[in-house]
Structure 1
């Protein structure tokens, strides 16, 4: 059947699997052409364009959000798109970086309102604040991430890094130790802990 959106979606997934991005995108485009309410196809279009840093990506995530705003993945993918653009820019003080990071922070906050248990949103907010030298704010976000997800080794590690920058040596030591308890092969945490013990 020529206009079967599900068939186009499956074709798109096959092309994606084969790393044929152009054909995958064309197939997902057909799927949403025949079904404007095809959440998964919008998500795939967003992710594929995101990977290519195409500025149309957020529009596809917005379509997915419009169809189902309760799903965290679309909010997260949109925020991460802007965060990655900010991270990829060499000059961290440029207006572009600020506006991409601001868009990312705004979207992570919207995600947190929808799903307060989504630990990666807090973690990534913390990471952005670190990039922007707002260490106190970063610490607060990593702190929440460890409370929401007590097994989240990376959150303890990054909270430890903030504590080092703020001169809180004992707290940092305990966080690096906790990261290692959760993830014994975490070499970055071991390195930080060794440096503190010197």
Structure 2
């Protein structure tokens, strides 16, 4: 993913979604029962990969006038900062200050405090798109998927052309479809497809929606569209784990 990010402002995908936790043996199916087991195993694997491919959200400040001295100062001090165990800075009671404080709480693993800071940023500036987006990421990490979806939706209302947030919302719908019931939810799968297609309409150069679309089509049992989506991801995507899983899906689809 060719995104410009700063560690101090970036919202990173949780370490629990790392490749170290994603080793899953997927047996070759030789019967309907084994096929269902394979689908269950690959469903677990893909939930991990959805988290890995989700876009981390970085500093998205409100629009400022050109040549604004405050903007120049912000750019001059926006240097990469490594994670630290030092005490977090004192509260800055501005929308931008609360947004940055929320990011630092998130990086420190203090998710409840991050939520509070983002909410304060939104209270101070109800048009602060980045605060809604990062609040959505935080709720996602807390497994509060409905709340996460509502924040992504609000962020898209404020900036309908944000392809990364549009993708995150579609990936979230897919994760809900695969994890919130004993079997995949077809309504949520269809909702994920619509949202992921929209993300590609906004940002056609993104690779990640192709993989996630492939998964949605796979569980919707649309073999042709799933095959096309996974092949598109293999032609564009660079994440090695996602590429391997795409190959696994294609192997199953071609049997």
Does TM, normalized by the shorter one, top 0.5? yes
1:100-136 CA distance string (max 9 Å, x none)? 2111111111111001111222222222222322211
Partner of 1:42: 98
Report the equivalent of 2:167: 123
Q: In the TM superposition, what whole-angstrom CA distance separates every residue of 1:149-194 from its partner, at most 9, and x where no partner exists?
A: 1111110110111001011000111111111221266333233223
2:133–2:152 Cα contact (<8 Å) kept: yes
Change (3 A) 1:76 1:197: same
Give the counterpart of 2:130 among 64, 73, 77: 73
Name the CA distance, whole Å, in 1 between partners of 2:95 and 2:85: 19
Paired residue total: 166
- The answer as to whether partners of 2:207 and 2:237 remain within 8 angstroms in 1 is yes
2:225 corresponds, among 167, 171, 177, to 171
Match of 2:84 in 1: 20
CA distance in 1, matches of 2:153, 2:195: 11
Do the aligned partners of residues 159 and 42 (structure 1) sit closer, same or farther apart at CA in structure 2, a change above 3 Å counting?
Answer: same
Corresponding residue SS for 1:56: helix
Q: Separation in 2 of the partners of 1:145 and 1:102?
A: 19
Query: Which secondary structure does the structure 1 equivalent of 2:134 belong to?
Result: helix
Q: Which residue, out of 117, 130, 139, partners 2:193? A: 139
- Specify which structure has the higher proportion of helix: 1
Greater RCO (Cα-Cα under 8 Å, separation 6 or more)? 2
Q: Please give the TM-score of this superposition, normalised by the length of structure 2.
A: 0.57
User: For residues 111 and 146 of structure 2, what CA distance do their matches in structure 1 show?
Assistant: 18
Distance 2:104 2:225 in 1: 41
How far did residue 58 of structure 1 move? Answer: 1.8
Question: 1:61 maps to which residue?
Answer: 118
Distance across 1 between alignment mates of 2:171 and 2:95:
33
The answer for unaligned runs of 5 or more in structure 2 is 1-73, 178-187
Calculate the TM-score normalised by the size of structure 1.
0.72
